[in-house]
């Protein structure tokens, strides 16, 4: 069985047993066969249009943080070119305030601009136990170099679980790519994907216009898993996709990358489970 076959086997089984979702994300986090990327929802055309229009207005009215700036939370990932981030879930309401984007807390933060951007607010409010909610922009020829974070985390109570990351491309082109442990992907506009950021990953926009994604992390609680991977109602304007497997468009060897030290050893991650809100 090839690595891709094993990944697809995981993806089929997790429909039957949500525990296998945790194990698949965990395994790929440690660079074994597992879940690197899943297609989860499709947005209908009006919803995609409303979100894209609100993002365009928000970008015109608010100041982003720049990933290449000294002290930025993403500067370690080797940004090249214009890489903007608008942090939409925080305490201050400032879109350039990334101070709590990665603190593993889903409390004390909110989207402060609901009245002006109702479609963005509705999506954020439909997602349980968000840690962050961001607009990520790669300008033409911009990129993030290969880097490795960790989807397997330790809670404040000491339990081991998953912080899961999701992408919703709004503006993209065939020249925009995402690398996950050597697999090259193109993420389609209007589709929500799980992207396992425990893999060695990189992003590049070789197109002539901006690549714009909504990106969010959430604590993988039982409630969040049901919303994102279950069989219940999808967020308004979205439908669950019948085929979750995402086939790579190619392969690219990576020999060097930046890495954050892991919080959890692979041996400790044998006991991975759903987190509690914190």
What span, in angstroms and rounded, lies between the C-alpha atoms of 64 and 60?
10
Tokens of 66: 């720049």
Is residue 187 in a domain?
A: yes
Query: Which pTM does this prediction carry?
Result: 0.94
Instruction: Write the pLDDT tens digit of every residue in 74-101.
Output: 999 999 999 999 999 999 999 999 999 9
What span, in angstroms and rounded, lies between the C-alpha atoms of 175 and 190?
17
Instruction: Write the pLDDT tens digit of every residue in 107-154.
Output: 999 999 999 999 999 999 999 999 999 999 999 999 999 999 999 999
pLDDT band at 242 (very low <50, low <70, confident <90, very high): confident
Is residue 239 in a domain?
A: yes
Is residue 39 in a domain?
A: yes
Is residue 278 in a domain?
A: no
Q: What percent of the chain has pLDDT over 90?
A: 90
Is residue 277 in a domain?
A: no
Residue 194: closest CA among 251, 120, 254, 246: 246
Give the residues across from 236 on adjacent strands. Answer: none
Is residue 28 in a domain?
A: yes
Instruction: Write the pLDDT tens digit of every residue in 6-62.
Output: 444 444 444 547 788 999 999 999 999 999 999 999 999 999 999 999 999 999 999
Residue 275: closest CA among 113, 156, 183, 170: 156
Is residue 108 in a domain?
A: yes
Number of domains in the chain: 1
Q: Which domain holds residue 116?
A: 3-271
What span, in angstroms and rounded, lies between the C-alpha atoms of 152 and 29?
7
* CATH number assigned to the domain comprising residue 23: 2.60.120.330
Is residue 240 in a domain?
A: yes
Least confident of 1-5, 31-35, 230-234, 261-265: 1-5
Chain-wide mean pLDDT for the chain?
A: 93
pLDDT band at 5 (very low <50, low <70, confident <90, very high): very low
């Amino acid at each position: 069985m090839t690595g891709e076959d094993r990944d697809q086997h995981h993806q089929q089984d997790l429909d039957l047993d949500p525990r296998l979702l945790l194990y698949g994300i965990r395994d790929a986090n440690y660079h074994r066969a597992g879940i690197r990327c899943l297609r989860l929802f499709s947005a209908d055309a009006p919803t995609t249009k409303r979100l894209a229009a609100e993002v365009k207005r928000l970008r015109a009215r608010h100041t982003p943080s720049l990933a290449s700036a000294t002290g930025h939370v993403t500067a370690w990932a080797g940004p090249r070119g214009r890489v903007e981030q608008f942090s939409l879930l925080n305490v201050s309401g400032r879109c350039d305030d990334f101070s709590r984007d990665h603190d593993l807390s889903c409390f004390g933060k909110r989207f402060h601009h609901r009245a002006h951007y109702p479609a963005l607010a509705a999506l954020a409010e439909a997602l349980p136990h968000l840690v962050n909610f961001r607009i990520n922009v790669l300008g033409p020829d911009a990129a993030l170099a290969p880097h490795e974070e960790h989807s397997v985390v330790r809670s404040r109570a000491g339990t081991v679980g998953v912080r899961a990351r999701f992408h919703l491309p709004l503006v993209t082109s065939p020249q925009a790519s995402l690398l996950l442990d050597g697999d090259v992907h193109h993420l389609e506009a209007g589709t929500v994907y799980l992207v396992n950021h425990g893999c060695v990953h990189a992003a590049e926009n070789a197109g002539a216009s901006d690549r714009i994604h909504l990106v969010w992390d959430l604590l993988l609680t039982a409630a969040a898993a049901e919303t994102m991977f279950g069989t219940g109602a999808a967020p308004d304007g979205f439908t669950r996709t019948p085929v979750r497997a995402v086939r790579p468009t190619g392969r690219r060897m990576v020999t060097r990358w930046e890495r954050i030290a892991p919080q959890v050893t692979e041996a400790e991650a044998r006991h991975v489970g759903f987190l509690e809100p914190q």
